[in-house]
Amino acid sequence: MRGERGARLTRSDSPPGLLARVRHFFGLEQSIIGLLVMVVLVGMGERLAERFVPVYLIALGASAVVPGLLNALDTLLSALYSFPGGWLTSRIGYKRALLIFNLVALFGYAVVIVIPIWPAVIAGSVFFLSWTALSLPATMELVSSVLPKHKHTMGVSVHSLVRRIPMALGPVLGGIFIDTWGIETGVRMAFGLAIVFGLVALVAQQTMIVEKTCGERKPVPGFYRLVTTMPGRLRDLLVSDILVRFCEQLPYAYIAIWAMCPDQGMVPLAASGLPLEFAFIGPVFSDGVTAVQFGLLTGIEMLTALLVYIPVAWLVDRSRKKPFVVITFINFTLFPLALWQARGFFLLTLVFILRGLKEFGEPTRKALIMELAPPEHKAASFGAYYLVRDTVVSVAALAGAFLWQTNPDLVFLLATCFGAAGTVWFMIRGRDGQSP
């Protein structure tokens, strides 16, 4: 009897298998797996056509300023959606909130397909651009609720890693659609496939994700209170984040146009306002890349990000967060400067590798926000943070649209200056959160 009891004890205390250890290392609880499946499916649908929308708008007869206005709208909507998304999540839970957010995005895809004119694309974008902003607070609350604190950085990193898979594959498939059927038909077919992916995601989400929060939810503070009571460390991070996002958003809408249609970005030196001694630093190459090549560049960017997420998360759990965020901000700053000088697929490949490295410490930044947010209403705090950040940054996207019409060189130079300012600010004022 004693031998049998000892044998049972030995078997129960035996080390877990390889699969169990892998799941524990990455924090792959059932709800996390359900979240990741949803992220892949929804993200795949979103990225099939989203990166080519600026070119699609031009093909439908829109002027060159419209893609910039769309980017400004994207940034503004990200701001406006963030707090309602967080507030709704805190009120009804992340599972039901994610269901609603998915349905809103699917409606936007349908509008673009049914009405192939550029104003309808703008109208549909009001809905399909909502997914990322609305779902982020719910995603962060899910990770925070399901995983222990010492796994938060890893959970955010795994989410960011998996989120980049459709970012890498979607544009490549979308580029094939466009090269095969043309811009207009190819983009509409891509949005149609996005609806199919979204419907499958709804089933997976409702089946696999389990709501962890029990009992009556506490009242959610208003936006003003959440902002005015924001911890000082989080406020310093917010200031740096705003400046660095100015760097990102000024040229963002025109990255595809700059790479694929170089003539759209050419401005004679005499009209640029730059001194003649700076002639050598202007855009001197004229060869653009194809839609498939641009999709491959995006894939290279995402692959680079994928390769750094997990090693960085492992290191962050064992060291300070600030150095990793600083490195990320530096990479943000260098990208527009490098893109400004790059022409041809080879040079652009190196530039997009650099762009992928800007994700080096992005999960760390999100984990830092999670760590500093009040525990009883993390989703609403996330939403308030992003509402402030993206409302301010939307000005950069709008300014980029008009500056591009004047001189594309100024867009890249000004973006670099904002990035440098944000980096220096965080190097001086930024602080680490609590140790795990």
Cβ contacts of residue 257 below 8 Å, gap of 6+? 54, 55, 58, 64, 67, 264, 265
The position carrying tokens 């943070």 is 385
User: What's at 63, amino acid-wise?
Assistant: S
Percent of the chain with pLDDT over 90: 14
- Given a cut of 50, is residue 1 above it in pLDDT? no
Please say whether the beta carbons of 360 and 324 come within 8 A: yes
**pLDDT of 72 above 80:** no
pLDDT value at residue 265: 47
Q: From 157, 167, 158, select the one nearest 132 (Cα to Cα).
A: 167
Three-class SS state of 165 = helix
How confident is the model at residue 308, as a pLDDT? 86
Q: What is the mean pLDDT of the chain?
A: 80
In angstroms, the CA 245 to CA 422 distance is 9
Q: Identify the pLDDT of residue 270.
A: 37
Quote the tokens at residue 164.
Answer: 């980049």
**Mean pLDDT, range 47-76, rounded to an integer:** 81
* Residue tagged 């530096």 (tokens): 330
Q: Looking at residue 195, what is its pLDDT?
A: 92
26 neighbors 154 (Cβ within 8 angstroms): yes
What pLDDT, on a 0 to 100 scale, did the predictor assign at position 276? Answer: 35
Nearest CA-CA partner of 162 in 330, 357, 26, 48: 26
2 neighbors 179 (Cβ within 8 angstroms): no
Q: What pLDDT score was predicted for residue 180?
A: 87
The pTM is what? 0.66
259-311 pLDDT, tens digit each: 877 555 444 333 434 343 333 333 333 567 787 888 888 888 888 888 888 88
pLDDT of residue 15: 58
Please state, in angstroms and rounded to a whole number, the distance separating the CA atoms of residues 204 and 38.
7
Q: Strand, coil or helix: what is 28?
A: coil
**CATH domain 29-212+222-429 topology:** Growth Hormone; Chain: A; (1.20.1250)
Q: Who has greater pLDDT, 262 or 185?
A: 185
Q: d(Cα 219, Cα 87) in Å, to the nearest integer?
A: 10
User: What pLDDT was estimated at residue 110?
Assistant: 92
Q: Where residue 217 falls among pLDDT bands split at 50, 70, 90?
A: low
Stretch 382-392: mean pLDDT, rounded?
84
What six digits make up the tokens of 402? 């008009």
**Distance of alpha carbon 220 from alpha carbon 86, whole angstroms:** 10
Number of Cβ within a 10 Å radius of residue 319? 12
128-141: per-residue pLDDT in tens? 887 777 787 888 88
Q: Which two tokens stand for residue 348?
A: 């652009």
| Domain residue ranges in the chain | 29-212+222-429
